Amino acid sequence: MSADHVRFQARKSIEQVEEGNDLAPKFDERGLITVVTTDADSGEVLMQGYMNAEALQLSITTGEAHYYSRSRQVLWHKGATSGLKQTIRELLIDDDQDCIWLRVDVAGGASCHVGYRSCFYRKIPVAADYESKQSEGHIELEWTDTTKVFDPEEVYGDAPNPTIL
């Protein structure tokens, strides 16, 4: 077993998984684990994605974020096409080890295929704010960022859009 192949441990008990030092990630029935990626400086959530076992191993050994693209069904080295690589400053795992949190530095400052810094550029009013703005339960999304960091057409050309309706 070489250093390029990170070893995951079998999941034996709740105590081991929640309170131990074993790396025993839980991949779901599709072989995936969820990933939350935040900007290491600002704390902003940049994106939410998925890793398979290979993507997690490569993220650990290289220190660059690798994901599994569900729409394209391939291992996805983030930034390989766009140049907007994510360098991992910290890689955390949650209590039951079915979610990864990446704290990253982003080359080029953007992580969203639409061109914004973050994938989260719109918000939904809640509580009293929702009450005052809704009309028969209908509300409009509110924009929190309107400045595109890059032009998706220039960066991705005619590659298919990953959004699935």
Residue 84 C-beta: closest distance to a copy of itself, Å: 14
Identify which of residues 1 and 154 has a Cβ nearer to a copy of itself in the complex: 1
Distance (Å, whole) CA 95 – CA 76: 26
Residue with tokens 């699935």: 164
Residue 13 C-beta: closest distance to a copy of itself, Å: 7
Q: Is 59 helix (H, G, I), strand (E, B) or coil?
A: helix
Identify which of residues 75 and 101 has a Cβ nearer to a copy of itself in the complex: 101
Q: What is the DSSP letter of 108?
A: G
Distance (Å, whole) CA 43 – CA 70: 25
Residue 123 C-beta: closest distance to a copy of itself, Å: 5
Identify which of residues 139 and 159 has a Cβ nearer to a copy of itself in the complex: 139
